[in-house]
Structure 1
Amino acid sequence: MKLIKSLSAGVIVLSAIAYSCGGGGSNSSESSSASSQPAPAASAPVSLEDKYKDDPVFVAGSAKAKESGCTACHMVERKIVGPSYADVAAKYDNTEANVAMLTEHVLNGFVGNWGEVPMPAHPHLAKEDVETIVKYVLLLKK
């Protein structure tokens, strides 16, 4: 019981910190030069959000993830309470079997793949919405 209270308090504190930090991305300016660099993208990394911003899977999944509260514990490229979406995408291929497995983990809860902090069950979410979120997450490969 004491462990559950400690974990709950920790999740609340980390959620509050994550919420207060906001998402404020970095501003960068690009400069044009006549260098012999073959790939300008290599000199200026593009965020996953910028890379997929026009993809319909990204747009729908991102909106559902925000509506469903996923962003309280997960971020696209940075671990907070749970793994980043990019880390999940790196670990799992985008297959129907993995979409089904991860959807079940979100709906029913799971612990073990990412350390001691459990993924709590979210039975109140519609299965179709969770599948949309999982497909979005698996899209975010670096």
Structure 2
Amino acid sequence: MKAVWMGMVAASALLIVGTAQANADLAKSSGCMNCHTVDKKLVGPAFKDIAAKYKDDADAPTKLAEKVKKGSQGVWGPVPMPPNANVSDDNAKALTTWILTLK
């Protein structure tokens, strides 16, 4: 029984790691990593800084997905984030949901 339980835990961990990697790959293929990194400011803020800023905002995934699609200006300084209309609504939501999990 213990072996079955350990196998389930290991499978769950692999699923979580696989999902996180898929979202990191989505961020790269969507062009996000041209201006952002996970843990340090590049052109735009670090994803971890975004997660920290919006950690208590229940509407953050939706708000941030809209910013991904339409662009944003003035939130993190003078450099605007251009619109990313080529990112689907589902992918924008997946990206922002993933970003908000980073700590």
Alignment of structure 1 residues 122-137 onto 2, 5 Å? 122-137=84-99
Q: Is 1:75 the counterpart of 2:15 in the alignment?
A: no
TM-score, scaled relative to structure 1: 0.58
Superposition misfits of 4+ residues, deviation over 4 angstroms: none
Alignment of structure 1 residues 6-85 onto 2, 5 Å? 54=17, 56=19, 58-85=20-47
2:65 corresponds, among 103, 107, 112, to 103
Task: For 1:140, give the aligned amino acid.
Answer: L
Q: Deviations over 1:76-123 (max 9, x none)?
A: 001010000010011002755110000000100111110000111011
Structure 2 spans left out of the alignment, 5+ residues: 1-15
TM-score, scaled relative to structure 2: 0.78
CA RMSD in angstroms, aligned pairs only: 1.7
| Higher Cα Rg, which structure | 1
Q: Higher strand share goes to which structure? A: 1
Task: For 1:70, give the aligned amino acid.
Answer: C
Task: For 1:73, give the aligned amino acid.
Answer: C
Structure 1 spans left out of the alignment, 5+ residues: 1-52
Task: For 2:17, give the aligned amino acid.
Answer: D
- % same residue: 36
The 2-side partners of 1:140 and 1:125 are apart by 21
The 1-side partners of 2:62 and 2:17 are apart by 25
